[in-house]
Amino acid sequence: MERVAVIIPARGGSKGIPGKNIKPFLGLPLVAHSIRAAQAAETVSDVIVSSDDDEILAVAREYGAEGLKRPDDISGDEASSESAVLHAISETEACQAADTIVFLQCTAPLTSAAEIDQVVRTRGEKDADTAFSVVEVHAFLWQIAEDGSGIGINHDASKPRQRRQERPQEFRETGAIYALRKGGFVKAGERFFGRSVPVVLPDAVEIDLDTPRDWLALEAYAKAAGYQPETIQPAGS
């Protein structure tokens, strides 16, 4: 059976929402939602949280993940998520033994175990190098020219406005789940390499947790929708 390791990058020092990664979301630390979803996924063998913050790592271990201290030189605002994933691959036995690496974003707390499994399985079924989560979007996108006029990006503004059914399907990368062929990722150093396959998640929520307003909106939606976190319990409970 293929071994799949999940890596959850979770830096400390968030500016938009202070203490974001361990701030309670629906009563649980934010990072715990991603840990629980990964642990409940049928395809996942190991869960690692990479952080420069000891408090985040303590919470990660409390919920049963392996905690990995990230060096300062890949922990600043300019550090890429790829650098954290590459570090985890080089430093943990679980990642070294894995065939597939899943980069999971903890700022998407409504990600489910079933969605993780869908992305992982699609990568294997399609023999892709990268499989990643997307949602269908219907927005009319514009650029603003130097003179202030609008330029249609994904539509021709000079023609009558098309109905949704008449437009080609378009998809937005959610940023929540990436399943990567480990060997190719290590060589490329980027999440997109070789053959990349979008995986449509119809029920994924399009709210990124960047500001306090985002937090309020997503938590309100989750409560109204009756969201229930995956049922893995903290260690020692």
The dihedral region occupied by 234, where left means phi > 0, alpha psi between -120 and 50, and beta the remainder, is beta
CATH of 4-136+170-224, one of 1.10.3720.10, 3.50.50.60, 1.10.10.10, 3.90.550.10: 3.90.550.10
In this prediction the pTM is 0.90
Q: What digits encode the pLDDT tens for the residues 103-131?
A: 999 999 999 999 999 999 999 999 999 99
At 118 the three-state DSSP class reads helix
pLDDT band with cut points at 50, 70 and 90 for residue 14 = confident
